[in-house]
Structure 1
Amino acid sequence: MTSTRLPVADRRDVRRATWRLLSGDRRALTTVLALYCAAAAAGLAGPWIVGRIIDQVESGTTTSTIDVLAATACAFVITQVLFTRAARYAGHRFGERALARLRERFLDDVLDLPVATVEHAGTGDLMTRASSDVATVGNSARDALPEIFLGFVQMVFIAGALFVLDPILGLCALISLPALTLVTRWYLRRARDAYLAEGAANTELAEDLAATAEGARTVEILRMRAGRITGNDERIGAAFATRVRTLWLRSVLFPSIDIAHTLPVAATLLIGGALYLNDQVSLGTVAAATLYLWQLVEPINAVVMWIEALQAGSAAFARIEGVGKVPPATPPSGRVPHGDLLDIDDVHYAYHAGHDVLRGVSLSVRPGERLAIVGPSGAGKSTLGRLLAGIDAPSAGRITIGGVDATDLDATELRRRVALVTQDHHIFLGTLRDNLALAAPDADDARMFTALEAVGATWPADLPAGLDTMLGSGGMQPDASQSQQLALARLVLADPHTLILDEATSMLDPRAARDAERSLAAVLEGRTVIAIAHRLHTAHDADRVAVMENGVVTELGSHDELAAAGGTYASLWRSWHGG
């Protein structure tokens, strides 16, 4: 199964999502904006007062007047510090709340993804979006956006103050603006794609490293170490190249900004000096204008630095929003099944075009029937189970439940009727009760213990904390057979009408597996059970057995009929019993 990348939102969708995120708490946003504006306004007083002091000293004034002006300047500095601190505090709180809403929506989008989409995308793509991308967006929401807004407000206020002070000196502040605009636009045109490429390279690297770590034993057994190391090195090299690309963009932007600081100050001193010598402006005005221009250095630096972070945040946000762009596998038709008859009509399926895994499978499973599907590895048994559970849709043909296509059913309705349990089981971090409640949130303790007993799981009763025992990291670590028993207990609690068991007891020893299957059979009496199994005792106990070979059903009948027919099943049965 090839890995298919999840989509990435375009610029327009990112802008809309950003506005939704920011406008989700408008009262707090208004407070933040007001505090930043107040901080920027308070910062304008210092240079103007210094200019006044210079003019007063030049004209000959009293010490008390200078003291008053100096005290006023100090008061405004303190006021600016207090407003800035309050603004940043409010901005961080606003950013954290916005990030919490983003995480919640992202989780909803992930849970709404079709199972097939998640499997085709691979763990690395979702992992990097849920971890590094969310963290990058958090950095933007918590730090970059407030700092950029404060920087822009300060620049606008300072530019306005310069023009009020003297229009000619105000124009000096704009000398570097054309070059600065060109460089910034050059950077922005390239930055988003560069950071998206960096995110994609990180995804590839994460997937490759995760696959190597998870398959470490297989790598060692098959002597694949050299190949995996080479592949990992290539992924690391690709990720390094994307980071060099973004670093190069920054190396062009930042020096340009440094030059843009110097030119306006030099122009102000030269032109201001000429105006002063011609008695067109006072010395204090030139000094105030120069200080205002030096005040521009910090907000410009902040804006540039955080715009660079904002580009990374925008690219990460586009990847996060892309998860919500995945359409449902098939929109529910709204039709309600009539009964639980499961029909498979001339079904074909291929993971890769032109290479069918299933070829013309036709089968009917009666309500309440126990059907075993057996056959060699690679015959298509598990693929058929996925199609029966509605995880994937057939490439051709139909699978219907009560006359309605499985893929046309609403996900909730489908899960109520059909449940698939495989040999891969996940234990969630939480208590034993939490893990069981996933299948039936309203189940009480008695019902949970009944479900555990039904699958032969007696060990929970011996736990000191019982159902409140923590599982996973920092708690009890269930072994493979215990994890499988929990999965089967969840199945009992979910209580669907049709069960698809894909090697669901493979992690149990043969005796425990038979005991669990007998217990399940007693609990699930009257329900349809489709068991995909290699252990033929499961087939022996079934009402009918379907033998699959090379993607087709080659034999169908009861155990006794097929054993007597002398075909593939009879050979498998003799091999199983050593006959």
Structure 2
Amino acid sequence: MSRVGVRRATWRALRSRRRQLAGLCGWSMVESLPALLSGYLVARAVDEGFLAGHLFDGLAWLGALAVAVLVGAAATGRTYRSLGAVVEPFRDELVDQVVRGALGDATRAGGRPDSAALARLTHQVEIVRDTFAGLLMVTRGFLFSAGAALLGLLALAPVVAALAAAPLVVGLAVFLAALPAMVALQRVYVRAGEQLGQSAAAALAGHRDVLACGAQARVTADLEGQVAAQAAAERALARMAAIRSLSLGIGGWSPLVVLLSATPWLVQRGLTAGAVLGALIYVSTGLQPALHTLVQGLGGGGLRYAVTLENLLGVYPAVEGRRRPGSATPPPPVDTDHRAPAVEVRAVTFGYGPRARPVLRNFSLTLRDGDHLAVVGPSGVGKSTLAALLAGLVPPQAGTVRLAGATVAGVEPTVLARMRVLVPQEAYVFSGCLADNLRYLRPDADDPTLEAALDAVGARPLATRLGGLAAPVTPALLSAGERQLIAATRAWLAPAPLVILDEATCHLDPALEAVVEGAFGKRPGSLVVIAHRISSALRARRVLVLDGAEPVLGTHEELMVRSATYRLLVGCWDDPATPARAVSARRG
């Protein structure tokens, strides 16, 4: 992300809040009223009041200045309120952008959590917020205060305005010419700090491995190098303060020297003592403080703002036309005349590591809409890995996984979340009311819909015990089975056409597990159950057996004949017909 990107993001933030910015400018004009009138009113008080022997006229002019100061002070409070209306929404947009980007990187296929994301969210976003507010304040302060002072000088005498403006422009030019070098040094400093944070986090996280390998000296040396690099960058940045002092000397103090040196010549040209005093007031209380604030603000906060925002936008670029949270993004189109399979796995190979034995090798599977598949096999054979592949949580090393005709690896995470729901064994329930937990995947569900879901999955007794939909839920006070039941109800409500239950009912008793799986079986869409009990396979239309060899797919009756592993799991090796009769009795 270049400086152009920073300028574009800043301009977009200002342009989208034109009304609030106009309010800030309006109150800034009122606030600058003392800067506009101070020199002129003092000049009138001296020339037409005190020097003319009219004491009360002089005091009246000074009283008018006091009124202007009070009006300006009252406007100052309004400027900060208007400033918040501009800055806080920009900060919220950055938080949303960082969170979405970090979650997208962590949840996309092959993605991983970024250890620097928290620092960006808590530290760098706040730097941008504070420095953005500071930049607005110092910029509008310079424009209105310096502009008011120059207008006042013009009102006194145009020649005085020219004498004061010339060194001001030169000092400002010196500072602006050095600004790119300051930005470059600030960029080096920010990057050095970020690298130091990442290295320190990695060293602390792996301190046991460091001790076990005897690598303390090497790790310490690496961190010392990072600390030294950051310190060198900070010292180089501090040396640039000399440029700021030079520009302040030229633009802030030179006008005073010029005016004082030119006073005899100005008096000879008819300038009054009051006008000279007023000009000095305009320079000392208007131009000089305005330039000092601008140089210090741009040279400090401005550099941090530009580099920090550049870093954030480089890691998490803004997406034009990004929808607000909660807006609906349509899923990939499906050909209604030739409907794609709900799940299509083609020649997938996956292993945990380049040299590890593949968990799945050249594996293919097709599920039609409305299909109900149970996956069974010994522990550790790859059942949960298959669930993660179908959900798009891990990418295959070879082959493709498609949901409703769309390749999982190419689908945005937000869209993928509306295509499938994966319920793991460890159910997640958050603190809040029961209704909020159930609506997590379907925010628009009304209370009758939630009540129907509770009845469908057999969670009504739990909801009654908790106290109803509005009852508070404390995860630590729930059993593992109760958490699984809430998560199952949430998944049943989700609009996703594919549900994957990865041993998601293992903590429920067999009767309640049958109710839950029966509810999902009647739900529109497809169902994949990573079975914890063999009874889940008896309820499924088809069963996939994974045993480390060639996967076998078929109905219960077919697998009792074809798969020794399945017969072993069922517990009836000698009489393959027995399970079939049992299933017939269940289905009858």
Question: Shared fold by TM > 0.5?
Answer: yes
The letter of the residue matching 2:543 is: R
Q: Is the 8 A contact 1:129 1:319 kept in 2?
A: no
Q: Is the 8 A contact 2:377 2:565 kept in 1?
A: no
Q: Which moved more, 1:409-418 or 1:392-401?
A: 409-418
Aligned residue number for residue 422 of structure 1: 424
Tell me the secondary structure at the aligned position of residue 120 of structure 1. coil
RMSD of the TM alignment (CA)? Answer: 4.7
Structure 2 residue 486 is matched with structure 1 residue 483:
no
TM-aligned CA deviation for residue 140 of structure 1: 3.8
TM-aligned CA deviation for residue 342 of structure 1: 3.2
Q: Is the 8 A contact 1:98 1:141 kept in 2?
A: no
The letter of the residue matching 2:517 is: A
Q: How is 1:138-537 mapped onto 2 (pairs within 5 angstroms)?
A: 138-159=129-150, 161-162=152-153, 164=158, 165-174=160-169, 176-192=171-187, 194-195=189-190, 198=193, 244=231, 247-248=234-235, 251-254=238-241, 256-262=243-249, 267-278=254-265, 279-280=267-268, 283-295=273-285, 296-307=287-298, 308-318=300-310, 321=313, 323=316, 325=318, 332=332, 335-336=335-336, 338=339, 340=341, 342-349=343-350, 358-365=360-367, 367-375=370-378, 377=380, 380-391=382-393, 394-401=396-403, 405=407, 418-445=420-447, 447-452=449-454, 455=457, 457=459, 458-464=461-467, 466-471=468-473, 478-494=478-494, 496-506=496-506, 508=507, 512=508, 514-525=510-521, 528-532=526-530
Tell me the secondary structure at the aligned position of residue 108 of structure 2. helix
The letter of the residue matching 2:374 is: L
Tell me the secondary structure at the aligned position of residue 347 of structure 1. strand
- The CA distance in 2 between the partners of 1:66 and 1:302, in whole Å, is 32
- The CA distance in 1 between the partners of 2:558 and 2:334, in whole Å, is 41
TM-aligned CA deviation for residue 486 of structure 1: 1.5
Q: Is the 8 A contact 1:372 1:545 kept in 2?
A: yes
Inter-CA distance 234–149: structure 2 relative to 1 (3 Å threshold): farther
Aligned residue number for residue 64 of structure 1: 56
Structure 2 residue 78 is matched with structure 1 residue 86:
yes
Q: How is 1:44-55 mapped onto 2 (pairs within 5 angstroms)?
A: 44-53=36-45
Q: Is the 8 A contact 2:45 2:59 kept in 1?
A: no
- The CA distance in 2 between the partners of 1:422 and 1:530, in whole Å, is 12
User: What is the aligned residue count?
Assistant: 545
Q: Deviations over 1:185-224 (max 9, x none)?
A: 3212332454355456657767888x79xxxxxx9xxx66
TM-aligned CA deviation for residue 43 of structure 1: 0.9
Inter-CA distance 299–347: structure 2 relative to 1 (3 Å threshold): same
- The CA distance in 2 between the partners of 1:566 and 1:476, in whole Å, is 42
Q: Is the 8 A contact 1:456 1:519 kept in 2?
A: yes
The letter of the residue matching 2:387 is: G
Inter-CA distance 292–361: structure 2 relative to 1 (3 Å threshold): same
Aligned residue number for residue 577 of structure 1: none
Inter-CA distance 255–573: structure 2 relative to 1 (3 Å threshold): farther
Q: Deviations over 1:433-479 (max 9, x none)?
A: 01102234454545434534555543331124x2112335xx97545
- The CA distance in 2 between the partners of 1:375 and 1:325, in whole Å, is 46
- The CA distance in 1 between the partners of 2:528 and 2:212, in whole Å, is 40
- The CA distance in 1 between the partners of 2:233 and 2:47, in whole Å, is 48
- The CA distance in 1 between the partners of 2:142 and 2:61, in whole Å, is 27
- The CA distance in 1 between the partners of 2:550 and 2:2, in whole Å, is 46
TM-aligned CA deviation for residue 558 of structure 1: 6.1
TM-aligned CA deviation for residue 491 of structure 1: 1.6
Greater RCO (CA < 8 Å, at least 6 residues apart):
1
Q: Is the 8 A contact 1:36 1:84 kept in 2?
A: yes
TM-aligned CA deviation for residue 346 of structure 1: 0.9
Aligned residue number for residue 544 of structure 1: 543
Q: Is the 8 A contact 1:269 1:286 kept in 2?
A: no
Structure 2 residue 34 is matched with structure 1 residue 42:
yes
TM-score (norm 1): 0.75
Tell me the secondary structure at the aligned position of residue 362 of structure 1. strand
Inter-CA distance 537–103: structure 2 relative to 1 (3 Å threshold): same
TM-aligned CA deviation for residue 519 of structure 1: 1.7
Tell me the secondary structure at the aligned position of residue 500 of structure 1. strand
Structure 1, unaligned stretches of length 5 or more?
A: 1-8, 213-218, 575-579
TM-aligned CA deviation for residue 36 of structure 1: 1.4
The letter of the residue matching 2:282 is: Y
TM-aligned CA deviation for residue 120 of structure 1: 2.0
The letter of the residue matching 2:141 is: L
Inter-CA distance 69–58: structure 2 relative to 1 (3 Å threshold): closer
Q: Is the 8 A contact 1:547 1:556 kept in 2?
A: no
The letter of the residue matching 1:460 is: A
Q: Which moved more, 1:235-244 or 1:528-537?
A: 235-244
Q: Is the 8 A contact 1:205 1:232 kept in 2?
A: no
Tell me the secondary structure at the aligned position of residue 505 of structure 1. coil
